[in-house]
Amino acid sequence: MKIRAPPRQPAVQNQLIARLGTSERRSLLARCEMVQLRPADVLSEPGAPMLHVYFPVQGFISMVALIEGGRGVEIGMVGNEGMLGSQVVLGVATAPLHALVQGAGACLRVRTDACQSELARSPALVDVLHRYLYVQMAQMAISAGCLRFHLLGPRLARWLLMTHDHADADSFPVTQEFLAYMLGVRRAGVCAAAGALQQLGLIHYRRGNFTVLDRRGLQAMACSCYAAGKRCHADVLP
């Protein structure tokens, strides 16, 4: 008698979805659609309802706290280790932050109401997303302290390391204007801090493109917040 091979599992590159058991993963993926994230796309605005929840596969997203006058500062990134829209775990569909795409790539998207339905039927999904929500809260607290107490140079090194992690490449496009916006400082400050890192041979910057040349050196220059954020994720979502 011919034995049929078991059906192939769909390739999952989002780490949260990959943590689910087979049946929970299949059920959630059946409700997802694959979309392409494009740089500068806005995925959420504070106070507005989110129609979709996003599980990045390749691209990554910046979460920005907006201040009056149109200013803002980045307080977190979301790549394939996480999701955008974790507030749905608490039963809230309203977005708390401005979220825009920083790195292009594929992303799994599911309607918010469909995600809530999956949460209602899957304790395993609730557990995974509760853990991730805790990680996000802890990392945002780390970012708040970093913004208040650490100098721009170490903060820039941390930001470049985080972007390097999510971009999965040594080179990535980013302008000094965008960096200044993300770090909540003036462009002149970013220019000076990036110039210092370049003189040390840690990075190369040219025409809106950063290249990480010496990751270990950049880690040595970064503030302790980078390691603290990584450690929190590893402890809660090992």
**Domain coordinates of the chain in residue numbers?**
15-146, 151-222
Nearest alpha-carbon partner for 176 in 221, 217, 203, 206: 206
Q: Please report which confidence band the pLDDT of residue 7 belongs to, taking 50, 70 and 90 as the band edges.
A: very low
146: left (phi over 0), alpha (psi -120 to 50) or beta: alpha
Span 164-203, pLDDT tens digits? 999 989 999 999 999 999 999 999 999 999 999 999 999 9
Say yes or no to pLDDT of 123 above 90. Answer: yes
- Count of helices and strands (H, E) across the chain: 9, 10
- Angle between helix axes 176-183 and 152-167 (nearest 10 degrees) is 110
Span 19-51, pLDDT tens digits? 999 999 999 999 999 999 999 999 999 999 999
Listed as own residue / partner, the contacts of 153-156 with beta carbons closer than 8 Å and 24 or more positions apart are 153/193, 153/196, 153/197, 153/221, 154/221, 154/222, 154/223, 155/183, 155/223, 156/183, 156/190, 156/193, 156/194, 156/197
- State the Cα–Cα distance between residues 18 and 24, nearest whole angstrom: 10
Q: Please report which confidence band the pLDDT of residue 11 belongs to, taking 50, 70 and 90 as the band edges.
A: low
- Answer yes or no: are the C-beta atoms of 157 and 147 closer than 8 Å: no
pTM above 0.85, yes or no: yes
- Answer yes or no: are the C-beta atoms of 117 and 19 closer than 8 Å: no
Nearest alpha-carbon partner for 77 in 142, 20, 3, 23: 142
Query: Which residues are 62's β-sheet partners?
Result: 77, 100
Please state the φ and ψ torsions of residue 136, each to the nearest 5 degrees.
-60, -45
Mean pLDDT, range 61-83, rounded to an integer: 91
What is the topology classification, in CATH, of domain 151-222? Arc Repressor Mutant, subunit A (1.10.10)
SS3 139: helix
Q: List the alpha helices (DSSP H) in 99-151.
A: 112-121, 123-149
- State the Cα–Cα distance between residues 179 and 167, nearest whole angstrom: 15
Architecture of domain 15-146: Sandwich (2.60)
Say yes or no to pLDDT of 233 above 70. Answer: yes
Instruction: Decide whether 15-146 matches 151-222 in CATH topology.
Output: no
Q: In sequence order, what are the residues at sequence separation of 6 or more whose Cβ sits closer than 8 angstroms to the Cβ of residue 124? A: 20, 21, 24
Q: What is the largest CA-CA distance in the chain?
A: 74
